[in-house]
A and B are shown apart, each in its own frame.
Chain A
Amino acid sequence: DAKTTQPNSMESNEEEPVHLPCNHSTISGTDYIHWYRQLPSQGPEYVIHGLTSNVNNRMASLAIAEDRKSSTLILHRATLRDAAVYYCIRTNTGNQFYFGTGTSLTVIP
């Protein structure tokens, strides 16, 4: 049970920002939100994670709602290399990650 809900697919134009939503309405106070992406024929790649505050790194930003029931992964300028399946995962143990089917992002040149 992945316990998160994401749209099956999204499209974005190249060089435009992309906002990938994730719903986790049953999240508990100790659950972290992690995002991974998987490029075709590759293993998943860590993108970003957070607990309560918004987070930024070189790849993306993570915006977590004040009630923590949803979050948004933000890619500031989509490139063709960002075309992948993006997974939103909640975990409170760090040793059991449950992946759903994720969001397949298509980037249009």
Chain B
Amino acid sequence: NAGVTQTPKFQVLKTGQSMTLQCAQDMNHEYMSWYRQDPGMGLRLIHYSVGAGITDQGEVPNGYNVSRSTTEDFPLRLLSAAPSQTSVYFCASSDRGTNYGYTFGSGTRLTVV
């Protein structure tokens, strides 16, 4: 049981480049989320999904796109990378509802130069 798998673990991008951060879970969880964490700060919600085909925006969605074509995968796309998007990105999944905890991935450390 792998849990939540994020790839890559590290990435350096040039300003203006695009890329996709991958997130996959094997627990058949309905809920999935993407967060970013900047130095010395808590996590901020970017986008979330409550099931395949359903996504919505969180606190800081600008500059990011998501889609959820399967229950297992929830990729995060950076459309045109900016230095302000330098951060550590975490993906998480949970079974349906408030009465369940989230399982987090180990993160992707992204640097935009």
Contact = CB atoms under 8 A, between A and B. Distances in A.
B31 A95 contact: yes
A100 B40 CA distance: 11
A92 B98 CA distance: 6
Size category of the A interface is: 20 to 34
Contact of B44 (A43, A94, A99): A99
B63 interface: no
A97 B104 contact: no
Nearest to B30: A95
Nearest to A91: B98
Size category of the B interface is: 20 to 34
Nearest to B106: A43
- Determine which residue in A2, A95, A97, A101 has the highest number of CB atoms from chain B within 10 A of its CB, and name it: A95
Which label, helix, strand, loop or mixed, suits the secondary structure of the A interface? loop
A43 B101 contact: no
25 contacts: A2-B42, A32-B98, A36-B101, A36-B102, A42-B106, A42-B107, A43-B104, A43-B106, A43-B107, A44-B90, A44-B104, A46-B101, A51-B99, A87-B42, A91-B98, A93-B98, A94-B100, A95-B48, A95-B50, A96-B48, A97-B43, A97-B45, A99-B35, A99-B43, A102-B42
The 4 closest A-B pairs by CB, nearest first: A46-B101, A43-B104, A99-B42, A94-B98
